[in-house]
């Protein structure tokens, strides 16, 4: 485990557990959901990186540049592939300071992803809070479809309100969306009590046209998430004490449903990179 500290802020990371952040606190108050000490599953952590793509790929397959790609499918997410494989592998620490750590991963060129890629994740603290920078480079000899995301879990106390304005939301069957609707058809997060929205249905939807700022407000203050993308995936399961606000570069199943350049579908030439950053603060 790696521990970071800067002023009132502290963070903990587990490079061996998918390069995950396992705690983020301000003045000893949890700003992200804390991770059990004996955790062995990245889904128990506070935040983990999504690479070389985010969210679901329907049926664990897609066709790119005339080539059929088949990906491993975990039993718990079947029949779809989910979040790539960077969160399932150990990362390497290449730099560690009191308030900053840099992790890297060499992935792909295997059964999980046919293109080789390299990822660099920088996690740092300042007086304002947390900053995570994620950058992925195509290390193969041919063009590669690519996507990035971050998967933070925020505490969801009773009565917590989420503000995350967007212009559209993706909906569809079997949690693989294929239709763009107005936010009100799922949940309009201009100012919504999370439990009221999640009480009617499972919220596991990607929002387009996001402003890049989300605010989770409770009786004690506000947690603010900012990111460099205009897409936000919201996961608010019924009856749970957390809400995931995931900045992502593309919508779910984009490699099957869109052409390069649409929906966040990015193609990296050999040596080309894709980047994403996220900040988390608390007042």
Q: What residue numbers bound the domain in which 85 lies?
A: 2-282
CATH of residue 35's domain is: 2.70.98.10
Residues 81, 69: Cα–Cα separation, whole Å: 12
Question: What radius of gyration, in Å, describes the C-alpha atoms of the chain?
Answer: 18
Reported as a pLDDT band with limits 50, 70 and 90, residue 175 is confident
Mean pLDDT, residues 170-189: 91
Per residue in 204-242, pLDDT tens? Answer: 999 999 999 999 999 999 999 999 999 999 999 988 999
Token pair for 260: 């390069």
Token pair for 154: 């925020």
**pLDDT on residue 30:** 97
pTM: 0.96
The answer on pLDDT for 126 being more than 90 is: yes
What is the number of structural domains in the chain?
Answer: 1
Distance of CA 113 to the CA centre of its chain: 18
Do the beta carbons of residue 14 and residue 44 sit within 8 Å? no
Token pair for 226: 């900012």
Distance of CA 117 to the CA centre of its chain: 18
3-state secondary structure of 256: helix
3-state secondary structure of 215: strand
DSSP class of residue 194 equals H
Token pair for 280: 């988390």
The answer on pLDDT for 273 being more than 80 is: yes
Q: What mean pLDDT value characterizes the chain?
A: 96
Do the beta carbons of residue 185 and residue 166 sit within 8 Å? no
Residues 272, 229: Cα–Cα separation, whole Å: 18
Angle at 76 between CA 39 and CA 55, to 5 degrees: 90
Per residue in 5-63, pLDDT tens? Answer: 999 999 999 999 999 999 999 999 999 999 999 999 999 999 999 999 999 999 999 99
Helix (H) or strand (E) holding 221: strand 221-227
């Amino acid at each position: 485990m790696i521990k970071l500290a800067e002023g009132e802020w502290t963070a903990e990371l587990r490079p061996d557990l998918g390069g995950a952040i396992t705690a983020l606190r301000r003045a000893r108050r949890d700003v992200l959901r804390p991770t059990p000490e004996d955790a062995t599953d990245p889904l128990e952590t506070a935040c983990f990186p999504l690479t070389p793509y985010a969210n679901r790929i329907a049926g664990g397959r897609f066709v790119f540049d005339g080539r059929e790609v088949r990906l491993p499918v975990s039993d718990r997410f079947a029949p779809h592939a989910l979040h790539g494989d960077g969160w399932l592998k150990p990362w390497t620490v290449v730099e560690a300071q009191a308030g900053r750590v840099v992790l890297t991963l060499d992935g792909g060129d295997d059964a999980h992803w046919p293109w080789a890629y390299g990822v660099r994740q920088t996690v740092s603290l300042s007086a304002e809070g947390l900053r995570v920078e994620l950058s992925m480079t195509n290390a193969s000899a041919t063009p590669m479809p690519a996507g990035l995301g971050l998967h933070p879990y925020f505490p969801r106390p009773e009565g917590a309100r989420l503000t995350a304005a967007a212009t559209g939301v993706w909906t569809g069957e079997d949690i693989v969306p294929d239709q763009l609707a107005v936010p009100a058809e799922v949940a309009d997060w201009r100012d919504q009590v999370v439990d009221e929205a999640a009480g009617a249905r499972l919220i596991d939807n990607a929002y387009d046209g996001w402003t890049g700022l989300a605010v989770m407000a409770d009786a004690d203050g506000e947690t603010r998430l900012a990111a460099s993308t205009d897409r936000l995936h919201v996961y608010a399961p019924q009856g749970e004490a957390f809400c995931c606000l995931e900045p992502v570069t593309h919508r779910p199943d984009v490699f099957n449903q869109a052409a390069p350049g649409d929906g966040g579908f990015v193609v990296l030439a050999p040596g080309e990179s894709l980047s994403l950053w996220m900040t988390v603060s608390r007042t």
